[in-house]
Structures are given as structure tokens and as C-alpha cells.
Structure 1
Amino acid sequence: MDDKPEYSPSTEKQAPVVGEVQQGDYGADTELRRLLSTRHVTMIALGSSIGMGLWLGSGKSLASGGPAGIFVGYILAGSMIWSVSHSIGEMAVMYPLPSAFVQWTGKFVCPSAAFALGWAYWFSYVITIANELQAVCTVLGFWTDKVPIAGWITIFWFVIIGINVFGVNVFGEVEVVCSTIKFGWIFVVIFSLIVTSAGGAPGHGPIGFRYWNEEPFINGFKGFLSVMPTCIFAMSGSENSGLVAAETANPKKAVPRAVGSIWLRLSLFYLLGALMVTINVDPQNPDIFGGEGTNASPFVIAYREAGLPPLAHMMNAVIFISVVSTGSISGYAGARTTMGLAHLGMAPAGFKKADGTGRPWPGLFITLTLGGGLAYLNVNNSASDVFTWFSNLTSLFTLFGWGMICLSHIRMRYTWKLQGRDVADLPWKSWTYPYAAWWGLIWCILLIICEFYLSVWPIGEKPNAETFFANYVSVIVIILCYIGARFYYKGPWWVDASTIDLDASRRFYVENDLEKAKKTGFRAGASKVVGFVFN
């Protein structure tokens, strides 16, 4: 395959025409339906990554890295996804494609990198579904152990399937409700845990920063490195705002708002949430995830030890909603990734198909089936072991994905300048470029190298092949996919920037606002008030 896609005559550039919608190739001409609004995209961006990683994984990180280790880890991971989100925003407005960063990578970097990224990311979505399903078992174990693990997995596997098969509009509304609950609850968590730390609860006296003073960092530098996979895993999913742009009525309005909400999510959900954990929960507590007991979440532990059982039950319920929500988002994203790969010729052509309501059935079937099947690994293994395997796999896939998003952004801007275009002509410009894009890319590379060090010399163990492959197999899979694709596609290592068609698969905008027209009947009159052209 040539590095540059073949274009048909219909993809020649045309001026935007009000009331006319035209589509080209390279992934833009799909059977998806643009039924998501700014409200959907903003709430999905706010809540899509709030799941097992924060509510449950924070406890494991606290135990291995200490209170300062987990807090610094979330600061670093937060700065990275903040950078990545700005890169996504600028490209998603101009190129709203079904698998987003996979197709951007194919357009601006090279087909081999896009192949490796696409299949790696698809597998990470599958793993996340499995991880969230096994998390349901851990969460529901807080209330009862009467139901077999396989029973819980089966029940909520069908729930996730149901959310996805009822169409993108139903999916969007479910995620709005779930994100609203998660977003509202975090305020309760912050204020209530400040009170408990100050001694305002019946279970114990003032705690303050006792655990920070006793041992801020556990296991030294290795302990800090061990925290990073969980921090990255917790924030993975934030990039899904780029995927939903392809099914958004007006990306130019919706995507920047989603990007603008990043700072709020990072400061509230992760930094303040992690800080509340570190000042309320002892890192040596036996009930922390990976230790003994079913009260796995550090937030639940904090409420239980503070003598506030109603809040502990409410916290557990919010965790339950979070993990089901994250699982359904992963099913959505995995199906769209296979569609984008098919449009690049990197997956069977059948994955391009969707029904009349925009449901990509082939992608949904394989993603949800495999994700649910892997969840049954939890039946014969401890939840902490399964979490470790899956989070390590997902975090390294995520680092590769974030790095390629930043690199694609850098290459897009380079191509834009090389071809003599004015930055003012971009439909939306990130004020963080180029510093944020380079910051995100460099840290992704450094952390992949650091995780290699931790995989070779793990905490509390001698170097062994089993631990290395369990922790680092993701990178091996990526390298093998890339090398295989290099042999198949051949060609130069980079797409020649001078030959990139910047208008192919691009969306053009006119001043008319699609979402304002939606109030007067979106389906009947949208095409009369929007002018954007796919080329």
C-alpha cells in the first residue's frame, strides 16, 4: 500500500456549501450517524476515564508508592493527558474520523505506525472491558459473596452489551447520567474526607498529614515507577473525546468545550481525590486492593474507618456505576477503532458496515465478545492479580497511543507550515502548541523506558522472565505489529509531508451553527443550516 491513500475524483476540494453535505474517503465516509451533541461530548470527556483506576487502583498505588508517590504520579499523568487532549482537540475539529488518532497517525506519520496503534488500542479496549467486569465482582463483594463471580460477570456483560446495541443516542444519554453522578459525587468525597481527616467523624480522631510524615515514598524510585501504570490506566479513556467527534453534530463547538473541561476533571477527580486518599488511608491497611478483605476501594475504607457506613455504601454504589460506564465506553471505542482500521485497509472490509441507526455491528460483536470472554479469567485468579495484568497491559498501550497522538499533532502542524498554509486558517487552534505536544511525547517515551527497567528489576523480586513478559508484553506486541506492517507496506519510514493532502477527510465549517438548529428539529432541518464538506 502506498503511504498516501488513493483519492477518487469526488475528493477534490470544494467550497463549503450551506445545506449540502459531501463526504470523501480515508475514513470520513462512514455509516455512522452524527447524533451526539456538545452536552454528550463534554460529559463523556468529564467522566469517561473515571472508573476502576481511580476508585480502586488508587489503593494499590498507595500501598506500593506511598502517599507522595501516588500524588506526584497523578500530577505527572495529569499533565500528560492535558497535553494529549489539546493535541486531540486541534485535530478532531478538523479531522473528525471514526478511529481518530489511528487515522491521524496513518495520515501524518506512516501506515505501519497506524496499524500497530490501531490494533494495540483495540486490544486495550477489549482488556478494559474485561477489567471493568472483574471490578464489578470486587465492588459487589462489599455487599454479598453469595453470587458466583461468573454470575456477576455474565449479568453485567449483558448490561454493557445492551448499552451499546441500543444505538449511539442511548449510549450518549447513559454516559451523561453516569458522568453526572460521578462528577457530583466527587464534591461529596472531597468535603467529607476533609472533615474526617480533621477528626469530625465518630470513627477516629484527627489524622491530618500523618501518613505523609511517616513515609511519603514507599519503595523509593521503584515504588514511584510502580505507581505510574495505575495512574496512566486511571486516566486512559480521556482520549475518547477524539473518537466521538465523528458522531458529533458540530465538532467545532463540542470538542473545544470538552478539551476546556480537562483542567476541571484533572484537578477535582484525580489530584484532590488522590490527596483525600493519602490523608485518610494508611498505606499499610490490609484491606487495600491487593491485600485481604473485600472492601477494596481506599475511599470505601476511609468512610468505613471513619464510622460512616452510609457513605461507604454510597461510595461503593458510585464505584459500581463508574466501572459499568467505563466498560460500555470501551465497547463503543473498540467498535469505532475497528471501523477506522477497515477504512485504512488494515481490517476486514466488513468492519466498515453499520446499520441504519449507526451501529457498527461487526466491530461491536468482536469487541464485546472478546472483552467479556477475557473477564472470566477472574474466576480462577485473584482480583488483584488480574487487575495487575490488565492495568500493566493497558497503561503501556495507552502510553503508545498518547505518544502517537502528540507526534501526529506535531507532524500535522509541520505539514501545515511546509505547504504554506496560515495557522489562522485552522478551525480551532490550541494555545499550548508546540510545548504541550512535545511535553506529552517526551514523557510517553521516558515512561515506556522506565517501565522496561521496572519489568527487568521488579520490586521485591529477582529478575525473571515471567514478570518481565507479564509487565512488558504490550510493548513487544506493538513492536511485532509495527515490524510486520513495515514488511507489508514498505515505503519510507515517514509519510512525505509535502505529498500529504491536508484537505482529504477534512471537515469544513461555515458560520451557521448546527446545534442551534437542532432545537427546531435536528433530523428534519439540520442539513439546511450546516455547511461542511468532507474531502
Structure 2
Amino acid sequence: MTTEMIAVNATLGTGLYWRGGQILELGGPLSTLLAFLLPGILAWAVMQCITEMLCIWPVPGALSVYVSEFIDPELGIAIGITYWFTYAASFAALVATAAAEIHYWKQDDKAFDGAVLYFLIPLFLIFLNCFRIDIYGWFEVISSSIKLVFLLIVICFMVTINVGGRVFTVADVRRNADEMIAGTANEATGTTYWDRPVEYDSDAAGTWFNSLAMSISIASFAYVGVEVVAASALEARWPNANARTNTDLSDRSNDELLIGQTVRFSSVYIPVLATISYVVAGVLASFNIRRGDCRLPRLSWVNSRECNSTSPSSNHTTYGTGSTTSAFVAIAIEAGLPPLDHVFNVFLVFTALTCACTNLYVASRALFGLTARLDDSPDQPLLLRWLAWFGKTNRHRVPMRAMIFSALSFCWVPFLQLHKNSTNISLFIEVLTTMGSDSVIIVWAFECWAFIRYYHCIARC
């Protein structure tokens, strides 16, 4: 159960709640549907490949080992580094995202941001990762369960608001009759906002197809984590502080071979669960808010002419100007349900931070699996001995060295938001996040290649 919940916690992050609104603004309603559906199908296919190899040959650092053994050793090292980079960078990006969500309540307080959001919160996440797996596993189970319940609550509220759960707000009074949005005053919104399904942000993309391609890249971040079972399945069987990892397939114990049976749930159900959840919630959100709503998050390098307008006659000012927020929080505000937007935002902060904690866990295990096979004997080069230092665990079998190094590698990224020129900093964090999500697609591609080589190897035997 712990392995499955770690995968759920890593997958159900801010990819839907924050980036879903960004996709809707960028590519329109139809892009929201396709951007979450297509990567979901890819994630399911990739998990079938990884799980079959993991069932037969469970090993720490499995994703790197499979590429090394079935394709090329040097390529396996590159894949291991890429996989570690994905989760180490995502840890910092999720902390920054959580800070952006907290800014919904408290803005323009640099001291609070630096001391609490960018220092104390990551320090607390590091502290959580110091516990041994049986204690940390309970944290994953509880937090994942809360996130699943929250997802169901969000979907229920989206349906309720869509069929007429809005209340008459003060903002509605200020609108002319032809500017009234569907769904106000207990009217059903239905598919009103799907009247132009291929509408897109012309400031960000030249054509709708370009916006769809960009949306798919953004949505891929939501599926980062479906494969973490490969990093956590052998947690209980990892070596002690001084033991080295054996990658000889013929020398695996029966207990280790049976571990692969526990990951079948992850390969079959988690990608399907994530895809259905993202598609349903994303489409329901597109039913309840217009693509041009100025509260939706935008690409940091896009300067929207419409949303920068402060004219009272601008239709977009009626939808809200100022700081951006999650699409679901904006829908709660538009529905005239004041407590709901704060409740949603609390859960979004919780989602971002728990996902960041899991990403740090995966990054540490990825680095441990990559370095645990290195020889640290005195006759080895200094660099290899230094890297092998990260491939050891403490007496609780926690790779503390790899975990702390993973946390410190990008812990400086959120602090950049304290700089006055926030636009360029936001662009940098956005690029770093995109690099992380695109990197995991590269890892998936080589895992599929490794599976093909493995399949042909089995066929020849």
C-alpha cells in the first residue's frame, strides 16, 4: 500500500490545479481535454514496460539500471542523472508554486517569503524525509488519502456549480445584461464556455495547433511521478550503510523477486486514475470559467493586452484583474461562494507541499540508486569515491547524504523570487519546470527502448 500511495502522492500535484488553468488560458477548452488525455495514454503505456521489467528484475535505481544493462552503460548513467534532475528541480519548483498559492492571502512581504516560505518550509520537508520508511510511509498514505478526497470534492463542486450552484454576486449587478456570464443567479452554465473550443491565446502561440503542442508539454508535468514505484519498490530491501548493490540477476533472492508483484497496481490503475481525474476535472473547470478570465495563470513571458487593460469598459476586468490564481479558486470566487475559494487554496498549498516532499524522496532514491553501484575502494579515482559516498544509507536505511544533496541542489531557486525583477525570475522557474517535465519524457522514451531490447532478449532465449 505504501508504494502505491507514494506514486499517488507524487502524481497528484499542482499539474492539474495550477497548470490546468494555464493550459485552459493558453489553448482553450479542447486543448485542456487533449493535453491531459494524450500524455495519460503515454504514461499508461510506459508503465506497462517498466512494471514488467520491475517484476522480473527489481533493483534499486531500476530506471538507470535497465538502460545500462539493455542499451548502453553510459546512457544508463545519463538517464539516472536526468531522472534525478527531474525530481530535484521539481522539488524547488513545487515550493515556489506553493509560495505563489500562499500569496493569495499574503502578498508583498519579502521577509515572510524568505524566512517561512523559502527556508522553513523546505527545511520541514527535509525533516520529514529523515524518517525511516515505515514512519514516512504513513505520512504518504495519509496525505495521499487526503488528496484523493479533495479531488473528489473538487469534482463534485465543479458539477454543482455548473448545473446552477452559483449565487448572485455584487459583481453581477455591475454587468450589463449582454455581459452576464452563464451560471450566475443559479443558472446552469452547461457548455456555454465551449462555444469556441479552439480559441487560444494569440499572444502566446501563432496557431491553435502550436498552443496544443505547448499545452501538452505543460500537462506532461502533471504525470511526473507515475513511475516512482521503480524508485520505491525496493525500499525495504535496500542495503545497509556499507553494503554495495548487486545487479546480478542470477543472484536475486526470492523475496526480492516477489516484490515485483506489489507494483502491478501502480502500473495498471495509477496512470488510469490520474488520466481520468485530470481529464474530468480539467474539462469541468473549462465548463465553469471562460478562457480569457484574467485570473487564470499565464505563461510568464506573455504580456496580455486584454488583461493589462484597466478600462471599466473592458469585459475582462469584470472577470477579475490582478494576481493570478488557480482556475478552481477563480471558479469558487466567480460562483459567489466566499469560503470555498479559501478552502480550495488551503488544499492547493497542501497538495503542492506534499508533492514536493515526495519529489525530494524520489530524487534522493534516484541519486542513491545511481551511486550505490560505484566502487569506493581506495584504488578508485577520487571522483568515483566521492560519488560513491552518496550511495550509502544510515542505520535506518535512509539515504541521508543523497537526500540532503538533492534538497540543496536547487533550494536556491525559490529565493530568486525575492528579486525585484519578478518577471524574469518567473520565466526562469517556468523554464526549469518545463525542463523537468520534458526530462521525464526522455527517461520514459529510453525505458521503452530498454523494454524493447529486453523483449528481444527474452524472445531469443
Q: TM-score range by the shorter chain?
A: 0.7 to 0.9
Preserved contact between residue 413 and residue 429 of structure 2 (Cα < 8 Å): no
What is the Cα deviation at residue 140 of structure 1?
A: 0.7
Residues of 2 paired with 1:293 and 1:178: CA distance? Answer: 32
Is 2:290 aligned against 1:282? yes
CA contact under 8 A between 1:186 and 1:268: conserved in structure 2? Answer: no
Mapped partners of 1:412, 1:118: distance in 2: 18
1:420-477 C-alpha deviation (Å, 9 max, x unpaired): 2xxxxxxxxxxxxxxxxxxxxxxxxxxxxxxxxxxxxxxxxxxxxxxxxxxxxxxxxx
1:117 corresponds, among 49, 72, 79, to 79
The Cα of 1:156 is off from its aligned counterpart by: 1.1
Displacement of 1:217 after TM fit? 4.1
**Offset at residue 49 of structure 1 (A):** 1.4
What displacement does 1:374 show?
2.1
RMSD: 1.9
Q: What TM-score, normalized by structure 2, do the two folds share?
A: 0.78
Q: Give the % identical residues.
A: 23
Contact 1:133–1:372, Cα closer than 8 Å, also in 2? no
Name 2:137's counterpart in structure 1: 172
**1:92-143: CA deviation from partner (whole Å, max 9, x where unpaired):** 2222222221111111111121122111221121210110110111111122
- Alpha-carbon contact 1:133-1:323 (below 8 Å) kept: yes
Query: What corresponds to 2:171 in structure 1?
Result: none
> How many Å apart are 1:367 and its aligned residue?
0.3
In 2, distance between residues paired with 1:309 and 1:101? Answer: 46
**Alpha-carbon contact 2:191-2:287 (below 8 Å) kept:** yes
**How much has 1:384 moved relative to structure 2?**
4.7
Compute the TM-score of the two structures, normalised by the length of structure 1.
Answer: 0.68
Note if contact 1:377-1:386 (Cα within 8 Å) is conserved in structure 2. no
SS at 2:141 equivalent:
helix
Pairing 1:150–2:137 present: no
In 1, Cα distance between the equivalents of 2:455 and 2:2? Answer: 28
**Structure 1 match to 2:198:** 216
For these two proteins, the number of residue pairs brought into alignment is: 381
The yes-or-no answer on 1:343 pairing with 2:372 is yes
Q: 1:258 aligned to 2:286?
A: no
> Residue 340 of structure 1: CA displacement?
1.8
- Which residue matches 2:204? none
User: Where do 4+ consecutive residues of structure 1 move more than 3 Å?
Assistant: 291-295, 343-347
Establish whether residue 232 from structure 1 lines up as the match of residue 220 from structure 2: yes
One-letter amino acid of the structure 1 residue matched with residue 417 of structure 2: N
SS at match of 2:410: helix
Letter of the aligned partner of 1:115 in structure 2?
Answer: I
Q: Quote the Cα distance in structure 1 between the aligned partners of 2:56 and 2:414.
A: 37
Contact 2:58 2:260 in 1 (8 A): no
Q: CA deviation at 1:263?
A: 5.0
1:324 matches 2:353: yes
Gaps of at least 5 residues in structure 2 are 169-183, 201-206, 238-257, 299-306, 308-320, 375-383
TM-superposition CA deviations, 1:466-503 (whole Å, max 9, x none): xxxxxxxxxxxxxxxxxxxxxxxxxxxxxxxxxxxxxx
Unpaired runs of at least 5, structure 1 = 1-38, 421-535
Task: Say which SS state the counterpart of residue 238 (structure 1) adopts.
Answer: coil
Among 417, 423, 444, the alignment partner of 1:402 is 444
Seen in structure 2, the aligned counterparts of structure 1 residues 348 and 84 have a Cα distance that, compared at 3 Å, is: same
In the TM superposition, 1:132-151 aligns within 5 A as 132-145=94-107, 147-148=109-110, 149-151=113-115
Deviates more, 1:242-251 or 1:348-357: 242-251
Cα pair 2:226 2:266 within 8 Å, conserved: no
The worse-fitting range, judged by mean Cα deviation, of 131-140 and 382-391 is 382-391
Corresponding residue to 1:367 among 406, 411, 428: 406
User: What SS class does the counterpart of residue 234 from structure 1 fall into?
Assistant: helix
1:54 aligned to 2:16? Answer: yes
Measured in 1, the distance between the counterparts of 2:35 and 2:85 equals 25
